[in-house]
Structure 1
Amino acid sequence: MQDWKIDIGRQLKRVEVHETYGGRRQGGIGPSRVTDNVLLFTDPSKGHKHGYFDGWGNDGCYHYAGEGQLGDQKMTQGNLAIRNHEVDGRALRLFRGVASGICEYMGEFVLDADRPWYLTDAPETGDGPIRSVIMFRLRPVHAAPTVGVQLPNTPPVALAVDEVDVEQHHTERALVDPSREPYEAERREAVLVRDYAEYLRLQGHDVVRHRITPPGELKPLYTDIFDRTAGLLIEAKGSITREAIRMALGQLLDYRRHLEPRPALAVLVPSRPRQDLIDLCVDAGIAVIWLDGDTYQSTAPWSE
């Protein structure tokens, strides 16, 4: 088998790497048939456009997205070669920057022993539907310089919950798919949140929102409004369709399980939904709040 002779930091043409060490000449993951290596290539500038990207985390690992551009990624082919690299006796060799054909060797890596990989959400290539993506934690064998892209978030081991201003316009959709323009319903939702938060403040209420990062999750969850005065968690939707109401109910249940003490729940919408959807919310123990002229109506007992 071929000995490894590329020093960390060396820049060379990708084709030269393959001529010497084998591996697929296209794509990000190239298991070699002629040497004991799995060649990995990363180009974060491309990944950013699709809602996920490779980069250094604050855990000292390089977080590397698996292969598979359509549908949920599966632990097959190149992804399986990474997961099984130690069992197969293969070294993981990481290179950065392949768009121009020139790449830089970042060193040899191994999968992190404690948490080798995790799942996150990202759009398909070409701004397709959201799907599940495998993210590998690659730990450098040698003290490789952690230059290049730094991840803004690294999945925590424990639940992290903090409060942020309602005016911070972070959204879960933007984190998952930052290249997509907001839908009109989302723009209406942002206005609805702003106006209702101001309405509550004028009533003397203390209003914030939560940033929730569950254990092992890369991207935090953001609630819309938390009325601390009333102990009420509110999810806004810019539409009164069944799909929008169902989504709001699911989001509220997802958020509440991470919050202590458990808050009451409400859906905020721009107008009165049809009765069957109000009944759906009431049956789930969730209030509905809607704009009615210059004031707000609600199904909650405290609104009477």
Structure 2
Amino acid sequence: MLSGLSPGDRLPRREIHARFGGRRQGGISPSREAPVVMFFTDPRTGHQHGYYDGWDEQGLLNYVGEGQQGDQRFTQGNKSILLHREEGRTLEGFLANSPDVTYLGEFELVDTYLRDAHETGNEDALRQVIVFRLRPRNKVPVELPSTPITPTAAPVVNTVPVEEQHTERSFVTPNREPYELERLEASLVRRYRNHLQSQGHAVGRLRIIPPGEGSPLYSDLWDETRRELVEAKGSVTREQLRHAVGQLLDYGRFVDASVCSVLVPSRPRRDLLDYLRHAGVGVIYPDGDRWVRE
């Protein structure tokens, strides 16, 4: 606990650094003047950077490390949190309310995990970030949000409705507008879903949380009746079909699917059909009012 402060105290950040040292900017501030590492969280704006600071289901504060471009590494401020006990430093938290901060109290590191986020200022560039799980050593005096997902030791698989907002990228980059190919995929998925439902099939989408992961995976379609896993693509280029096969392999680890298929807007050319057959993946595409399966 910081000397002279009580959890809930609110004061200018510059005063914190004048009293305890540390960097005056950035989210993590190890001090040379005092045996402390200070961290600053602002959950209100973190989603702009793909960050989800907040409480998990185990009552631990999940705090995303520093570094706005490229994969985050255990260097500088991140390293100071990782080694705070070994270096004899306490870990002190603050809620940022620029220019003021609210003292949250003392924490201790429990463990870490890794998840995807987008780079600051570039929602198209994904990278890997570090998430610290921190246990408070006092009652935290302010309300903080909950994290969307708490990593678990075993995979979690649920069936969810077929809706456009259920995508992996919408979780990582919630403010990004869908690309044209993504809109084409969504339209294709809705058409094929309507077809399957007209045939009496139970259709949804799989939401998969792999072990230890902090972000979900979403299949495009799950035909429960046929037990078919379907991934849609808005074009039939080699790149798109390779991507689809990789996604099906990823999702297929967690579900007992009888068939895996790619849903595309037209028939792929011969070599790509050979590629899909070699990969053990079927293909579905529209031909007028009917759907062709190969």
Same fold (TM over 0.5): yes
The question of whether the paired residues in 2 share the 8 Å contact of 1:50 and 1:178 is answered with no
Q: Deviations for 1:83-102, whole angstroms, at most 9, x for unmatched residues?
A: 0000001011110024x210
**Mapping of residues 1-304 of structure 1, within 5 Å:** 4-98=3-97, 100-112=98-110, 116-128=111-123, 129-145=125-141, 147-167=143-163, 169-259=165-255, 261-299=256-294
- SS of match in other structure, 1:196: helix
The letter for the 2-side match of 1:257 is R
The letter for the 2-side match of 1:105 is Y
**Structure 1, unaligned stretches of length 5 or more?**
300-304
Cα distance in 1 between the residues matched to 2:108 and 2:137: 7
TM-score, structure 1 as length reference: 0.93
Cα distance in 2 between the residues matched to 1:146 and 1:250: 43
Q: Deviations for 1:191-232, whole angstroms, at most 9, x for unmatched residues?
A: 111110110111222212211111111111111111122121
Q: Deviations for 1:245-282, whole angstroms, at most 9, x for unmatched residues?
A: 111111100001111x3431000011112222221111
Following TM superposition, by how much is the alpha carbon of 1:75 offset from its aligned partner in structure 2, in angstroms? 0.8
Cα distance in 1 between the residues matched to 2:105 and 2:2: 14
Cα distance in 1 between the residues matched to 2:170 and 2:243: 17
Alignment CA distance shift 1:3-1:132 (3 Å): closer
Cα distance in 2 between the residues matched to 1:119 and 1:95: 23
- List structure 1 runs of 4+ shifted beyond 4 angstroms: none
103-112 vs 237-246, greater mean Cα deviation: 237-246
- SS of match in other structure, 1:174: helix
Cα distance in 1 between the residues matched to 2:113 and 2:246: 23
Alignment CA distance shift 1:183-1:200 (3 Å): same
* Number of residue-to-residue matches in the alignment: 293
Following TM superposition, by how much is the alpha carbon of 1:152 offset from its aligned partner in structure 2, in angstroms? 2.2
Cα distance in 2 between the residues matched to 1:225 and 1:101: 47
Cα distance in 1 between the residues matched to 2:154 and 2:141: 28
The question of whether the paired residues in 2 share the 8 Å contact of 1:51 and 1:179 is answered with no
Cα distance in 2 between the residues matched to 1:40 and 1:203: 56
- SS of match in other structure, 1:254: helix
The letter for the 1-side match of 2:232 is A
Q: Deviations for 1:17-37, whole angstroms, at most 9, x for unmatched residues?
A: 000000000100010001000
Cα distance in 2 between the residues matched to 1:293 and 1:222: 28
The question of whether the paired residues in 2 share the 8 Å contact of 1:56 and 1:146 is answered with no
RMSD of aligned residue pairs (Cα, Å): 1.5
The question of whether the paired residues in 1 share the 8 Å contact of 2:151 and 2:211 is answered with yes
Q: Deviations for 1:23-74, whole angstroms, at most 9, x for unmatched residues?
A: 0001000100010000101112221112222111111111111111110001
Q: How many percent of aligned residue pairs carry the same amino acid?
A: 52
TM-score, structure 2 as length reference: 0.96
The letter for the 1-side match of 2:272 is L
The letter for the 1-side match of 2:67 is G
Following TM superposition, by how much is the alpha carbon of 1:109 offset from its aligned partner in structure 2, in angstroms? 0.3
- SS of match in other structure, 1:111: strand
Following TM superposition, by how much is the alpha carbon of 1:145 offset from its aligned partner in structure 2, in angstroms? 4.3
Following TM superposition, by how much is the alpha carbon of 1:155 offset from its aligned partner in structure 2, in angstroms? 1.4
Cα distance in 2 between the residues matched to 1:198 and 1:186: 18
The letter for the 2-side match of 1:12 is L
- SS of match in other structure, 1:97: strand
- SS of match in other structure, 2:37: strand
